[in-house]
């Protein structure tokens, strides 16, 4: 049974384009009247807009926010806060502006209204990271949590793409680490997984340049969800490393997250397989760490600490700092492990895949698919490439073993060996796997007003003997006589005259003529033609259920899977009238056996018909002793 604790962080969220205009109302809502506006150097325009929207409520302005919340900056801002006698701060900017607001709040107790312009997510946490003399320290305090956050996507709409990418990966990191945090619980899991999905989608749109205001709005929502995770769940190796690197080597915050995240995930992959599988599923990739790395590459984000200015000779010290104090992380932190992780991060290498085989197979699949690139027929190229993709995926998903695949090859070989002109094992295989019925549905069932089709089956023989109307196709074989009286029309009910109609069926014991070498055939099959009224009459015998040939590999498969080989009793028709859609179908005997478990999945409701028992005079005056059956049916063909 799951046990967990969850403390919600009580922040008020105001979300939507144009909500910056609500800032005065939000300050008033807190009962505050004197706001100090905090903005980022170089982003004064945001500060101006907020000041304007605040009107008289704005009493001061500080534009000196800096990354990692240096204490000396906070001291200067504090002087300004006291000088203007502010009772709240309104910060507009990225995590740096938020950090300064928090630093002021924890020192003075002033209320905070935050308008984030990046996806840092810090606005919904009670955490504060500050730097002093090159060292970053973090603390948590309820007073740090901002009272109100106004998420206005228009503020981040112009966030330059490179900053947007790293900022979104910064948010992604909060969601990822929340999923394997010791504080994880179902609420956090849901928030984190949604964050992963929405941030990944946003990153893809940043990658392909289709990020409009909607996409930016989604990224902001992802940032909020991920920030909420960061606020309630303890973070692991990744955040620790980023703090160490950022604080000690003065590396840019979000970019450092972007480089380190895939490497830290790979480090934890074996120790947190469930979290990784859930992340991979939301990313839509086989392996989470390489999936994130590839996403960063596609979006043009940084992949190496080298490009962020990290000196190579600082790596040893970074390992030292990262392993100095143990803290919760799924995989134990070893010097060796950290050294390798940081080496890769410094060089920007793709992390080792938690699913190395998956990526090897993916590369192979890609190569095989590309081998069809020169195919002249695009349909053939597409079908083959997709077939290869699915077959490789099948092998991968089931971790297919050599001996299992050899069994499959042997199966197909035996199917080939047993196949002759009159024994079609591959048709049986297609039929018993339902593929024939699926293709039949796709090909022939798009017009509900026509008669349903059914599979051709393995016993059709091209060019059957031409027979006259009224013929008895059973040629005197034993069985209950059956008089067939069918009509062929178009979908308007207009008769289709002179339509060639091939019919074939099994004998009383369930065998087709081609299965009986001693029989002087062809029997129980023939080609007849409709008369001027589209009508066709002939005699035969009542078909009975029969097993499909079960002495080959398909029969072995049926036995192995506990399936019976029987087909429900039926009569085959192939109608190929000029100017009309060809119809291949079967009529099933209502009340016959196996209608609901037909071995080839061929039965359709409208094809189950009455073979009416009769005695006495027959329609054409033929003498029949005892019971005979009568089948009447109208086939409706689509005109071409
Ligand atoms: P940031 O606030 O420094 O912004 C990054 C850069 O983007 C700056 O140059 C800024 O001027 C620019 N910028 C911001 N918004 C812009 C916009 N809309 N258009 C154009 N440019 C814009 O950095 P950040 O990545 O947002 O946040 C990083 C800081 O946040 C770090 O100090 C980090 O420690 C802190 N942080 C804290 C927490 C927490 O919970 N305590 C969480 C995440 C981040």
- Nearest protein CA to atom 40 of ligand 1, as residue: 122
Give yes or no for a contact between 488 and 536, defined as CB atoms under 8 angstroms apart.
Answer: yes
Averaged pLDDT for residues 402-426: 93
Distances in Å between the Cα of 423 and the Cα atoms of 65, 147, 432, 548, 582 are 82, 78, 15, 11, 24
CA of 374 to the centre of ligand 1 (A): 49
Index of the ligand 1 atom closest to the CA of residue 41? 11
Torsion of Cα atoms, 77 then 81 then 83 then 86, to 10°: 160
CA of 67 to the centre of ligand 1 (A): 7
- Which tens digits make up the pLDDT trace of 120-130? 999 999 999 99
Q: What is the DSSP string of 89-103?
A: EEEEESHHHHHHHHH
DSSP, collapsed to helix, strand or coil, labels residue 126 as coil
Index of the ligand 1 atom closest to the CA of residue 155? 18
HSE at residue 173, side-chain half, CA atoms within 13 A, is 33
Q: Which residue of 73, 122, 227 sits with most ligand 1 atoms within 8 Å of its CB, as the best mutation to test the pocket? A: 122
What does DSSP say about strands 148-151 and 481-490: parallel, antiparallel, or unpaired?
unpaired
Common-topology check for domains 12-155 and 435-637: no
- Determine the pLDDT at residue 137: 85
Q: Which residues, in sequence order, are CB contacts of 570 under 8 Å at separation 6+? A: 454, 505, 543, 586, 587, 588, 589, 592, 602, 607
- Nearest protein CA to atom 4 of ligand 1, as residue: 94
- Nearest protein CA to atom 27 of ligand 1, as residue: 95
Average pLDDT across the chain, whole number: 93
CA of 65 to the centre of ligand 1 (A): 10
Q: How confident is the model at residue 627 (pLDDT cuts 50, 70, 90)?
A: very high
- Nearest protein CA to atom 37 of ligand 1, as residue: 122
- Which tens digits make up the pLDDT trace of 244-277? 898 789 899 999 999 999 999 999 998 998 899 8
Query: Which residue ranges have their beta carbon within 6 Å of ligand 1?
Result: 40, 42-43, 67-69, 93-97, 99, 117-118, 120-122, 125, 127-129, 155-156, 158-160, 163, 167, 170, 230, 253-254
CA of 164 to the centre of ligand 1 (A): 10
Averaged pLDDT for residues 483-508: 95
What whole-number percentage of the chain has pLDDT above 90? Answer: 76
Q: Which residues, in sequence order, are CB contacts of 149 under 8 Å at separation 6+? A: 11, 12, 13, 14, 113, 114, 115, 116, 123, 124, 224
HSE at residue 633, side-chain half, CA atoms within 13 A, is 25
**Polymer length of the chain:** 640
CA of 118 to the centre of ligand 1 (A): 6
Distance CA 242, CA 260 (A): 7
CA of 40 to the centre of ligand 1 (A): 9
- Nearest protein CA to atom 35 of ligand 1, as residue: 95
CA of 93 to the centre of ligand 1 (A): 7
- Determine the pLDDT at residue 164: 97
15-24, 279-288, 610-619: least confident range: 279-288
Residue 89: beta bridge partners?
36, 112
Residue with tokens 């948010």: 171
- Residue 348 burial (CB count, 10 A): 18
- Nearest protein CA to atom 19 of ligand 1, as residue: 159
Closest-CA residue to 235 (of 290, 183, 170, 172):
183
- Nearest protein CA to atom 15 of ligand 1, as residue: 117
Q: In what order do the strands lie in the sheet with 570-575?
A: 525-529, 500-504, 570-575, 583-589, 608-609
- Determine the pLDDT at residue 445: 67
206-210, 338-342, 421-425: least confident range: 421-425
Beta strands in 543-627 (DSSP E): 546-547, 566-567, 570-575, 583-589, 608-609, 611-614
- Nearest protein CA to atom 5 of ligand 1, as residue: 94
- Nearest protein CA to atom 34 of ligand 1, as residue: 68
Distance CA 573, CA 631 (A): 13
Residue spans of the domains in the chain: they are 12-155, 161-394, 435-637
Distance CA 155, CA 165 (A): 16
Distance CA 505, CA 581 (A): 23
Closest-CA residue to 415 (of 563, 551, 600):
551
Closest-CA residue to 178 (of 300, 279, 299):
279
- Which tens digits make up the pLDDT trace of 384-394? 999 998 898 88
**The domain at 12-155 falls in which architecture?**
3-Layer(aba) Sandwich (3.40)
CA of 608 to the centre of ligand 1 (A): 70
- Determine the pLDDT at residue 356: 58
- Nearest protein CA to atom 22 of ligand 1, as residue: 159
- Which tens digits make up the pLDDT trace of 211-220? 999 999 999 9
CA of 269 to the centre of ligand 1 (A): 28
- Which tens digits make up the pLDDT trace of 589-603? 999 999 999 999 989
Of the options 2.40.50.100, 3.40.50.150, 3.90.930.60, 1.20.1090.10, the CATH number for the domain spanning 161-394: 1.20.1090.10
CA of 123 to the centre of ligand 1 (A): 11
- Determine the pLDDT at residue 446: 63
Tokens of 481: 């006589």
Q: Which residue of 94, 121, 232 sits with most ligand 1 atoms within 8 Å of its CB, as the best mutation to test the pocket? A: 94
**What is the distance of C-alpha 360 from the center of its chain?**
21
Distance CA 634, CA 256 (A): 74
- Which tens digits make up the pLDDT trace of 156-208? 999 999 999 999 999 999 999 999 999 999 999 999 999 999 999 999 999 99
Of the options 3.30.70.600, 2.60.130.10, 1.20.1370.20, 1.25.50.10, the CATH number for the domain spanning 435-637: 2.60.130.10
Give yes or no for a contact between 126 and 152, defined as CB atoms under 8 angstroms apart.
Answer: no
Which H, E and C letters describe 351-385, residue by residue? CCCCCHHHHHHHHHHHHHHHCCCCCCCHHHHHHHH
CA of 159 to the centre of ligand 1 (A): 11
CA of 39 to the centre of ligand 1 (A): 11
DSSP, collapsed to helix, strand or coil, labels residue 263 as helix
Closest-CA residue to 525 (of 577, 453, 461):
461
Tokens of 600: 């080839």
Averaged pLDDT for residues 27-31: 98
């Amino acid at each position: 049974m799951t046990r967990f604790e969850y403390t919600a962080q009580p922040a008020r969220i105001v979300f939507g384009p144009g909500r910056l205009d609500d800032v005065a109302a939000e300050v008033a809502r807190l009962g505050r009247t004197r706001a100090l506006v905090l903005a980022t150097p170089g982003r004064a325009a945001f500060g101006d807009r907020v000041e304007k929207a605040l009107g008289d409520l704005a009493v001061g302005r500080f534009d000196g926010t800096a990354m990692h919340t240096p204490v000396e900056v906070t001291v200067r801002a504090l002087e300004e806060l006291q000088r203007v006698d502010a009772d709240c701060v309104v910060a507009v900017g990225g995590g740096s502006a938020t950090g300064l607001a928090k630093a002021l709040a924890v020192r003075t107790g002033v209320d905070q209204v935050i308008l984030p312009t990046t996806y840092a997510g810090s606005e919904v946490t009670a955490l504060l990271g500050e730097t002093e003399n090159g060292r970053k320290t973090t603390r948590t305090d309820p007073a740090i949590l901002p009272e109100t956050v106004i998420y206005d996507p228009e503020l981040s709409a112009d966030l330059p793409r490179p900053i947007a990418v790293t900022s979104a990966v910064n948010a992604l990191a909060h969601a990822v680490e929340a999923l394997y945090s010791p504080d994880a619980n179902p609420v956090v899991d849901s928030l984190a997984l949604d964050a992963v999905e929405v941030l990944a989608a946003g990153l893809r749109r940043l990658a392909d340049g289709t990020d409009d205001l909607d996409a930016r709005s989604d990224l902001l929502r992802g940032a909020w969800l991920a920030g909420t995770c960061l606020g309630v769940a303890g973070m692991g190796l990744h955040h620790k490393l980023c703090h160490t690197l950022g604080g000690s080597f003065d590396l840019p915050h979000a970019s450092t997250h972007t480089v380190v995240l895939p490497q830290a995930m790979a480090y934890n992959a074996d120790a947190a397989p469930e979290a990784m599988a859930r992340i991979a599923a939301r990313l839509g990739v086989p392996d989470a760490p390489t999936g994130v790395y590839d996403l960063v590459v596609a979006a043009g984000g940084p992949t190496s600490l080298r490009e962020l200015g990290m000196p190579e000779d600082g790596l040893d010290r970074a390992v030292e700092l990262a392993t100095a104090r143990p803290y919760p992380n799924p995989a134990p932190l070893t010097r060796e492990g950290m050294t390798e992780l940081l080496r890769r991060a410094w060089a920007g290498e793709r992390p080792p895949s938690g699913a190395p085989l998956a990526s090897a197979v993916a590369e192979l699949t890609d190569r095989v698919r590309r081998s069809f690139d020169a195919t002249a027929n695009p349909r053939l190229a597409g079908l083959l490439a997709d077939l290869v993709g699915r077959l490789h995926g099948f092998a991968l998903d089931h971790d297919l073993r050599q001996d299992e695949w050899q069994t499959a090859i042997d199966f197909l070989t035996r199917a080939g060996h047993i196949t002759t002109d009159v024994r079609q094992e591959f048709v049986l295989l297609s039929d018993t796997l339902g593929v024939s019925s699926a293709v039949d549905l796709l090909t022939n069932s798009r017009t509900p007003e026509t008669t349903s089709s059914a599979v051709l089956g393995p016993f059709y023989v091209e060019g059957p003997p031409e027979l006259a109307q009224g013929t008895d196709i059973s040629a005197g074989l034993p069985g209950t006589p059956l008089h067939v009286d069918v009509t062929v029309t178009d979908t308007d009910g207009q008769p289709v005259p002179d339509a060639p109609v091939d019919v074939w069926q099994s004998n009383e014991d369930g065998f087709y003529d081609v299965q009986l070498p001693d029989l002087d055939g062809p029997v129980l099959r023939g080609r007849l033609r409709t008369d001027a009224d589209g009508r066709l009459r002939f005699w035969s015998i009542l078909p009975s259920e029969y097993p499909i040939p079960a002495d080959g590999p398909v029969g072995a498969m049926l036995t192995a899977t506990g399936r019976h080989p029987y087909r429900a009793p039926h009569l085959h028709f192939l109608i190929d009238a000029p100017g009309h859609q060809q119809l291949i179908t079967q009529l099933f005997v209502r009340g016959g056996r196996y209608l609901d478990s037909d071995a080839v999945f061929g039965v359709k409701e409208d094809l189950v018909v009455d073979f009416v028992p009769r005695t006495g005079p027959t329609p054409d005056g033929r003498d029949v002793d005892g019971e005979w059956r009568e089948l009447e049916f109208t086939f409706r063909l689509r005109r071409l």
